[in-house]
Amino acid sequence: MDAEPVLRYWTLQSPTGATATCELVRTPKGLEVRCDWTGDGAQVRSAKAAPIGVVGDALNLAEAWKASYLAEGWVAREVARGRMLRRRPASV
């Protein structure tokens, strides 16, 4: 298991059309906040990532990262805040 998405915090779009998404994910080592972005046909996995010991810290980190993107001219896309992601059924 690489990483299982648990919660999506936000999705932003850059002035050039790139898209960034910030999620709480479960990894073999625990919870992690990840910000991935795509643009010009390329995808960058975990442009930013940080392990989380307390889930409450995750939201603070996600909001801080969002503020840094917004300061660079990115804008919010319409995505339900804090949307729970569906778990994929386990392979049989």
Q: What is the pLDDT of residue 27?
A: 86
pTM of the shown model: 0.71
The ranges assigned to domains in the chain are 4-78
Q: What share of residues in the chain are helix, strand, coil (percent, to 5)?
A: 20, 50, 35
CA distance linking residue 39 with residue 60, whole number of Å? 26
CA distance linking residue 66 with residue 22, whole number of Å? 8
- pLDDT(16) > 50: yes
Q: What is the DSSP letter of 91?
A: P
Specify the length of the chain in residues: 92
